[in-house]
Amino acid sequence: MKRNTLTLGATALALALAFPLTSLAGAPADCPKGGPGGPYHGGPGPFSADRLPPYLDGINLTEAQRTAIKDILKTKGEALRSKWQDRRDNFEELRKLAFSEEYTADKAKALVEAGMADKTEVALLHAELDNAIFKVLTAEQQQQVKNKPMGFHGRRWKKD
C-alpha cells in the first residue's frame, strides 16, 4: 500500500512538473510564422497576403484566383496598413494631449477631425479591397459570398 502511494505521488509530481514545461516548448510547427495568427502572436496580421479574408472561408478558389487575391492583398493591403498606423498615431497624439499642460479644445478637435478623416479613408480602402477581391470570383462564388450572414464588424462572419 505504501509503495502504491509513493508511486502515485511520484507520478502526480512528474505530471505537475511536465505540464508547465510543455508551455515553454514554443508554438506548434504548423502555426504560421511561429504563432497562431495575428501580429501579436507571431502570425500574419490583417490585410496580409499570407491570410485570406474570412468571407472567403469555405469557398473553393483556384490557384489562379488565390494568386490574384494575394496580389490584391499585397498592393492594397499596404495602403490599408499605412492608414491604420496613421489612425493609431493620431489617437496616441490625442491621448498625450489630453494629459498635458498644452491641451486646448481647438487642438483636441483638430486631432479628432483628422482621426475621423483617417477612419473614413480606412472604410473606403476596405471597400476597394473587398470589391477588387469580389471581382476575381466567379458568379457562383460571388453568390456564396453574398449569401453569408454578415457579422457585427462588417468583415467578420457569423459562425453557423
46: exposed, middle or buried (C-beta count within 10 Å: 0-12, 13-18, 19+)? middle
Q: Over the chain, what is the mean pLDDT?
A: 76
pLDDT (0 to 100) of residue 58: 86
From CA 14, how far away is CA 1, in angstroms rounded? 20
Structure confidence at residue 69 as a pLDDT band (50, 70, 90) = very high
- Longest Cα–Cα distance of the chain, Å, equals 80
* Section 19-40 average pLDDT: 45
Structure confidence at residue 103 as a pLDDT band (50, 70, 90) = very high
pLDDT (0 to 100) of residue 139: 96
pLDDT (0 to 100) of residue 3: 64
* Section 46-50 average pLDDT: 59
Which residue is it, cell 490584391? 72
For the chain, domains (ranges, CATH) are 49-147 (1.20.120)
Asked whether residue 34 carries a pLDDT value surpassing 50, the answer given is no
Asked whether residue 41 carries a pLDDT value surpassing 70, the answer given is no
Residue 45: which region, alpha, beta or left (left: phi > 0; alpha: psi -120 to 50)? beta
Asked whether residue 20 carries a pLDDT value surpassing 60, the answer given is no
Amino acid identity of residue 25, one-letter, is A
Higher pLDDT, 156 or 51: 51
Q: What is the pTM of this model?
A: 0.61
Asked whether residue 32 carries a pLDDT value surpassing 60, the answer given is no
* Section 148-160 average pLDDT: 54
Structure confidence at residue 77 as a pLDDT band (50, 70, 90) = confident
From CA 16, how far away is CA 45, in angstroms rounded? 35
